[in-house]
Structure formats: structure tokens, C-alpha cells
């Protein structure tokens, strides 16, 4: 963890352990901070993210709430307007739908309705994702919807470092932040830098993204959450084919860093935006529309998007096969934008490698590190 001097140190961590570490640091930094949610104290501790909190901070600060999401968020809002911040946790986005009245009509509006004199310091963790037989009631990804609500900020981590940093910044923001976790990233391992949260200071969560340049960029690719790791898994194939691109990973989608995307597109002239929301009114379309309005005349051809289809996910393993785009479709979308012939032997070799890698794990899990959502 931290060196005795309080300087930055480093460690290997899963996304789960990064969230857990950030939560513990925040609770030590601010004795008022509460963690509230159904299952925060159960044996699995919200996929392990709340592990050890009860033992370290006690039941007055780590509250296992009854199955009443609207009441839970109302309770957290009451604490917040009295100066007590909280992290509320919902194991599925669908469960959180029951709290939308409190979210939209209270949490998001309070600061503005009362002359900016009273803040609502709440972080709302919602878990989203697909696959592994989750079916219609456990698999929906409505982050685009959340980003449409004035007064809210929306953060979406994609790896251990972004999960750690974003949670700390979200808790230190004086107003409500939605923290969207895709369950497919929880067990990903990465190296994180650890630093102490600032004590007693409110800092606002700003627009955040990460840009990774591969070679001489000829196309701009935008991703978020677990899709970032899927695109990263293709880096080797792109490098062997001498295909360069800018990979822009959005870490916040409200606000989001449009300028970084636009600057890249003005160089490449080509844009692919990926998203795991349903296609209609997806966040991918928001990005495309803004980029076209800013740089349309500079674009070499119309942008492409890859999203989930506008369907309710079935539960059956067999009926979900082929429902969502995979690594091969991501790879081919870039080739299409660049008008690269699929029949070239070098391209066919890379497609074969990608297909072989995909065949090594079931289609409804991200990789071998995935051990299920519970």
C-alpha cells in the first residue's frame, strides 16, 4: 500500500481489489463515509469489492440494506444533504431501476434546486454486463440513459488503475456520480499506482480518457469498459499488418472528452466507435454525431459503430451465440474502414489466429480469468 511517507507506491491488483483498496482508503480518509447496499456484508461481499469493510469499519458505517432500492437511495440522499457522503452499491443495473425516482428527481436536482448551497455527495455503483446465462433481467447496459440525466456524472472504469482512480475522484466530488462496473472486468489484473486520497477537500470529477497510439495512426478507435481490453487483444495483429491507429478509451461519459476524439479524427479521417449498449440512441451514436458536426468535412468516409443489438438478451447459452460482436468483428471493422482486402494471405493468417483464440473460451465469457458473476 502506501509508503510511510505517504508517497505513491505500486502493486498488482484485480479491478475488484482496486475498488476494495480505494474504498478502504477513502473510509480511513473520511470517517463520515458510509458504504450502503444489499449484500455488502454477505459472504461474497459484492463480487469481493466490499470484502473486509465490516470487520474494519463496523456495522454503523457498512450497512447491509433491505431489498428496497428506492428507500436505500432516499436514505443516502438524506445522509448526503446532512454532510454524510456514501457509496451505495447495486449488484445489477435492473435492481437499481427501482431507485430512478430518487436518482432523477432528488439526487440529480438537489444542488440546483437549492441555489447550489447544498451538495449531494453520493457515489452509486451499478454493475452491468452480459453473458454467462444472465438473461433478460441481469444483463442490461443502460449507461447511455444515465448520461442523459442532467446533474449526474457517469464514470466507467476499464481496468484496475482506472477503477482505483475514478472511485477516489468520484467520492471526492461533492455531487452524485454513477460508477458503472462491467462484471467482465472484475477479475482483470493490472499494475496500479496507489496514492492517499486528499483529506477534507472536495475535488470535481472531470472528463477523463486514455489515449494509446499504435504506430502511425490511420484510424481512430473509441472504446469503453471491457471493450478496451478486447481491442488491446488485437494490438499484435494490427502491428504485424503495419496498421496504426489511435485507441481512445473513455473513462467518463458524462462529461466526456470529445476534443481528444475530434483531434484524432482530424488526423486520421476515419472513426470506429464501440459500445455495449443497444444500438438505438447508444452512446456510440452520441460520439459519432458530435464528431461529424465538428469534423464532418475532414472525414474520409462515414464513421462506423459496433454496438449490441436492440434485443433483450436470452438466457440460453445456445441462443446468445452470435448475438454480440466479437474480436473478429472488431478487427474486420477496422480493415473495412481502411479498405484492406480480407483475402490477403497476411490478413487471413491474423483472422485465423483471432478465431482460434476465440474458440478457446465459451462465447459468453470474456476470457479464462472469468469465474462467474458471483
Say what the pLDDT of residue 18 is.
Answer: 97
Domain at 9-194, CATH homologous superfamily:
Thiamin diphosphate (ThDP)-binding fold, Pyr/PP domains (3.40.50.970)
Judge if 9-194 and 209-358 fold alike in CATH terms.
yes
pLDDT in tens, 96-152: 999 999 999 999 999 999 888 889 999 999 998 888 888 888 888 889 999 999 999
What is the Cα–Cα distance from 233 to 186, expressed in whole angstroms? 17
Cis bond upstream, residue 255 (ω within 30): yes
Architecture of domain 209-358: 3-Layer(aba) Sandwich (3.40)
Say what the pLDDT of residue 369 is.
Answer: 77
Say what the pLDDT of residue 202 is.
Answer: 67
Do the beta carbons of residue 336 and residue 304 sit within 8 Å? yes
Say what the pLDDT of residue 1 is.
Answer: 46
Cα separation of the two ends of the chain: 27
Task: Give the DSSP H or E segment for 34.
Answer: strand 34-37
pLDDT of 43 higher than 90:
no
**Angle of CA points 269, 275, 277, to nearest 5°:** 145
pTM of the predicted model over 0.85 = yes
Using 50, 70 and 90 to split pLDDT, how confident is the model at 2? Answer: very low
Say what the pLDDT of residue 112 is.
Answer: 92
pLDDT of 290 higher than 70:
yes
Domain-wise residue ranges, the chain: 9-194, 209-358
Say what the pLDDT of residue 92 is.
Answer: 87
pLDDT in tens, 325-355: 999 999 999 999 999 998 999 999 999 999 9
Say what the pLDDT of residue 6 is.
Answer: 55
pLDDT of 155 higher than 60:
yes
**Residue 293 has which C-alpha cell?**
458536426
- Average pLDDT across the chain, whole number: 92
Amino acid at each position: 500500500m502506501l509508503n510511510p511517507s505517504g508517497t505513491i507506491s505500486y502493486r498488482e491488483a484485480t479491478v475488484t481489489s482496486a475498488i476494495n483498496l480505494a474504498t478502504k482508503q477513502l473510509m480511513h480518509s473520511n470517517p463520515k463515509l458510509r458504504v450502503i447496499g444489499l449484500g455488502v456484508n454477505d459472504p461474497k461481499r459484492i463480487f469481493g469489492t466490499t470484502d473486509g469493510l465490516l470487520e474494519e469499519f463496523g456495522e454503523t458505517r457498512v450497512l447491509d440494506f433491505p431489498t428496497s432500492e428506492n428507500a436505500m437511495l432516499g436514505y443516502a440522499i438524506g445522509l448526503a444533504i446532512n454532510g454524510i457522503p456514501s457509496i451505495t452499491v447495486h449488484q445489477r443495473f435492473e435492481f437499481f431501476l427501482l431507485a430512478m425516482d430518487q436518482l432523477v428527481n432528488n439526487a440529480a436536482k438537489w444542488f440546483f434546486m437549492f441555489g447550489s448551497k447544498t451538495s449531494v455527495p453520493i457515489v452509486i455503483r451499478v454493475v452491468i454486463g452480459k453473458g454467462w446465462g444472465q438473461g433478460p433481467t441481469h444483463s442490461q447496459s443502460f449507461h447511455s440513459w444515465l448520461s442523459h440525466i442532467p446533474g449526474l456524472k457517469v464514470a466507467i472504469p476499464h481496468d484496475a488503475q482506472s477503477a482505483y482512480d475514478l472511485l477516489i475522484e468520484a467520492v471526492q466530488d461533492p455531487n452524485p456520480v454513477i460508477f458503472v462496473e462491467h462484471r467482465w472486468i472484475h477479475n482483470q489484473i493490472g499494475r496500479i499506482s496507489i496514492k492517499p486520497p486528499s483529506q477534507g477537500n472536495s475535488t470535481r470529477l472531470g472528463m477523463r480518457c486514455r489515449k494509446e497510439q499504435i504506430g502511425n495512426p490511420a484510424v481512430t478507435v473509441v472504446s469503453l469498459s471491457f471493450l478496451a481490453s478486447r481491442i488491446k487483444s488485437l494490438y499484435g495483429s494490427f502491428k504485424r499488418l503495419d496498421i496504426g491507429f489511435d485507441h481512445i478509451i473513455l473513462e467518463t461519459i458524462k462529461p466526456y472528452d470529445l476534443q481528444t476524439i475530434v483531434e484524432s479524427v482530424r488526423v486520421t479521417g476515419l472513426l470506429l466507435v464501440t459500445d455495449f449498449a443497444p444500438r438505438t440512441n447508444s452512446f456510440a451514436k452520441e460520439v459519432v454525431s458530435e464528431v461529424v458536426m465538428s469534423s464532418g468535412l475532414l472525414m474520409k468516409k462515414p464513421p462506423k459503430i459496433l454496438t449490441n443489438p436492440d434485443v433483450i438478451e436470452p438466457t440460453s447459452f445456445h441462443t446468445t451465440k452470435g448475438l454480440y460482436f466479437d474480436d473478429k468483428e472488431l478487427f474486420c471493422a477496422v480493415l473495412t474502414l481502411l479498405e484492406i482486402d480480407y483475402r490477403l494471405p497476411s490478413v487471413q493468417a491474423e483472422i485465423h489466429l483471432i478465431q482460434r483464440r476465440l474458440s478457446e473460451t465459451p462465447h459468453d465469457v470474456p476470457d479464462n480469468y472469468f469465474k462467474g458473476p458471483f
